[in-house]
Chains A and B, each alone.
Chain A
Amino acid sequence: MTSLAEPPARVGSLVDQFQFGLDAPICLTWELTYACNLSCVHCLSSSGRRDPRELSTAECKAVIDELERMQVFYVNIGGGEPTVRPDFWELVDYATEHHVGVKFSTNGVKITPEIAEKLAASDYVDVQISLDGATAEVNDVVRGPGSYATALRAMENLAAAGFAGFKISVVVTRQNVGQLDEFKAIADRFGAQLRITRLRPSGRGADVWDELHPTAAQQRELYDWLVARGENVLTGDSFFHLAAFGEALPGLNLCGAGRVVCLIDPVGDVYACPFAIHENFLAGNVRGEGGFQGVWQESELFTDLRKPQTGGACQSCSAYDSCRGGCMAAKFFTGLPLDGPDPECVKGFGEAALSAVSDSPPKPSLDHSHRGRKAKAVPVTIGWGPQQERSAPDRACDESPLAGFRPPAG
């Protein structure tokens, strides 16, 4: 029997409703800046340096006004490291005064005892501390030297201030999947709640995905752990591809991109999901005429994503109803077709598909990594590119006398 009012864990036909989109997102991620004091190897937004085009304080407040009108209940603020924006606390206060709750993700660098006191006093602010290892050895390899100590200090400050139930957010990797019980123990120690999410090959994550993503055996381990011990552990619905193992995991088990989820990036660009910062998933910009609401409700991309999807190569698979083909971003950034299996398909179809990928996977459109901190050199190509794709640049400053001219076909 299904009840008429249910938490997300038990929804039935709502999934069908959500496929066609909502008037406003349920879960909106807003990255306030590309600036970050760290250089995590798997950063999904390739953050590091601030972008000079980032939204101003006034523009951010205008977005918050719109979110209030659209009744977006809360935003997940991230970055970069959002707290390094000088107007960060001002924006948090502005949002909560305008009935938009805030949950922000931080590496903990600014969570002093004083700030922790202030946060603990607000009902409308939630904090999420990122931690990718239950020990400094495992964490710091991914997040950088000293980052474990910074995160733990922030947790101590929050706990001492009486902030109950803040979140500890872990990206599950090959190196930390064996530490799930230890992460839980850390959360319990601070009266916090554990949140674990999936590693995506997005941003700099694409460069390390091969080495960091859990093995097939580890995925099974993770699924079993979630079923046995996952009560009160948040997942952001990010492991729905594991539902194909059998029992559905709590959550919608649906790719929410452009349907119930989206991302506003620091320069105001709106993407279908936080893991898909690429021009193919760019729906518009909040600075445009219709603002954020116009993009959410009318953009061509989001309209497309809300059409019924076919299972493509997955259609005949017995597990399709459970996993629905998995994560769009994970497929895209590993070079797989969007209507085929997820690269981490638990039936093994992803691995087979990956071995058949011949072209190099698409790269993120933006990179704000700290210069000189990148592990790998970027090859530079000079020239006009492939003949058939040549198009003369047509900006006013271009020197080409053929700017804007396209030879007639044939």
Chain B
Amino acid sequence: MSTNVSAPVFDLDGAWRLHPQVSIRPERFGALLYHFGTRRLSFLKNPTLLAVVRALDTQPTARAACQSAGVPDERIGDYRAALATLADSTMICPQ
């Protein structure tokens, strides 16, 4: 998780939410996401990321959602990249 080929553009200090057409199904490894609008499937690869995504709706910023899910500061870059991927596929969207 060290080499950043292209730094993802994602506003950690913005307010985000789960897209209203997206369903979450928790699984042992994390969760599956399904977007009924785009008919695309995505995966959350660990339970912490699931907690982050679930916290988006109630937290003022994505950074706050990460903190509330217990993401240590030095790992926040990984989660920013993951959230950028989710935003790209409109699994999450600005509040």
Report Cα–Cα, A5/B46, bound state, in Å.
Answer: 9
Q: Closest B-chain residue to A70, C-beta based?
A: B25
Can you list 7 residue pairs at the A/B interface with Cβ under 8 Å? A4-B85, A5-B33, A7-B43, A17-B28, A17-B29, A24-B25, A126-B39
Which chain A residues border B41 with CB–CB below 8 Å?
Answer: 7-8, 26, 73
Q: Closest B-chain residue to A11, C-beta based?
A: B43
Q: Are B79 and A4 in contact (CB under 8 A)?
A: yes
Assuming the A-B contacts A22-B27, A73-B25, are A4 and B36 also in contact, with contact meaning beta carbons closer than 8 angstroms in the complex? no
Which chain B residues border A94 with CB–CB below 8 Å?
Answer: none
Q: Are B40 and A14 in contact (CB under 8 A)?
A: no
Q: Are B28 and A1 in contact (CB under 8 A)?
A: no
Q: Are A4 and B39 in contact (CB under 8 A)?
A: no
Q: Interface digits, B20-31 against A, CB 8 Å rule (1 contact, 0 not)?
A: 010101011100
Q: Are B32 and A14 in contact (CB under 8 A)?
A: no
A99 shortest CB reach to chain B, Å: 7
Contact pick for B83, options A5, A17, A24, A123, CB 8 Å: A5
Report Cα–Cα, A3/B25, bound state, in Å.
Answer: 19
* Interface flag for A245 (CB, 8 Å): no
Q: Are A4 and B49 in contact (CB under 8 A)?
A: yes
Which chain B residues border A24 with CB–CB below 8 Å?
Answer: 25
B93 shortest CB reach to chain A, Å: 14
* Interface flag for B68 (CB, 8 Å): no
Residues of chain A from 8 to 35 with CB closer than 8 A to chain B in the complex: 8, 11, 13-14, 17, 20, 22-24, 26
Report Cα–Cα, A1/B7, bound state, in Å.
Answer: 12
Contact pick for A5, options B36, B39, B43, CB 8 Å: B43
Report Cα–Cα, A6/B28, bound state, in Å.
Answer: 16
Interface residues of B (CB under 8 A from A): 1-5, 21, 23, 25, 27-29, 32-34, 36-37, 39-46, 49, 78-79, 81-83, 85-86, 89, 91
Q: Are A3 and B23 in contact (CB under 8 A)?
A: no
Q: Are A4 and B23 in contact (CB under 8 A)?
A: no
A1-B2, A4-B81, A6-B43 given. 9 additional CB < 8 A pairs?
A: A3-B81, A3-B82, A4-B78, A5-B45, A6-B45, A6-B85, A8-B41, A22-B32, A74-B39
Residues of chain A from 81 to 114 with CB closer than 8 A to chain B in the complex: 99, 101, 103
Q: Are A5 and B82 in contact (CB under 8 A)?
A: yes
Report Cα–Cα, A22/B30, bound state, in Å.
Answer: 11
Report Cα–Cα, A103/B34, bound state, in Å.
Answer: 14
The 4 closest A-B pairs by CB, nearest first: A4-B82, A73-B34, A5-B82, A71-B25
Which chain B residues border A26 with CB–CB below 8 Å?
Answer: 32, 41
Q: Closest A-chain residue to B39, C-beta based?
A: A126
Q: Closest A-chain residue to B48, C-beta based?
A: A4
Q: Are B23 and A7 in contact (CB under 8 A)?
A: no
Report Cα–Cα, A121/B40, bound state, in Å.
Answer: 19
Q: Are A73 and B23 in contact (CB under 8 A)?
A: yes
Most chain B CB within a 10 A radius of its CB, from A6, A13, A22: A6
Which chain A residues border B46 with CB–CB below 8 Å?
Answer: 4
Which chain B residues border A74 with CB–CB below 8 Å?
Answer: 34, 39
Report Cα–Cα, A73/B2, bound state, in Å.
Answer: 34
Report Cα–Cα, A103/B40, bound state, in Å.
Answer: 13
* Interface flag for A124 (CB, 8 Å): yes
Report Cα–Cα, A5/B21, bound state, in Å.
Answer: 18
Report Cα–Cα, A3/B86, bound state, in Å.
Answer: 10
Q: Are B85 and A5 in contact (CB under 8 A)?
A: yes
Q: Closest B-chain residue to A126, C-beta based?
A: B39
Report Cα–Cα, A71/B42, bound state, in Å.
Answer: 14
Report Cα–Cα, A103/B1, bound state, in Å.
Answer: 37
Q: Are A71 and B23 in contact (CB under 8 A)?
A: yes
Contact pick for B3, options A1, A6, A14, CB 8 Å: A1
Contact pick for B42, options A2, A7, A13, A101, CB 8 Å: A7
Report Cα–Cα, A11/B85, bound state, in Å.
Answer: 13
A253 shortest CB reach to chain B, Å: 15
Q: Are B37 and A123 in contact (CB under 8 A)?
A: yes
Q: Are A1 and B5 in contact (CB under 8 A)?
A: yes
Contact pick for B44, options A5, A99, A101, A103, CB 8 Å: A5
B89 shortest CB reach to chain A, Å: 7
A302 shortest CB reach to chain B, Å: 16
Report Cα–Cα, A73/B45, bound state, in Å.
Answer: 18
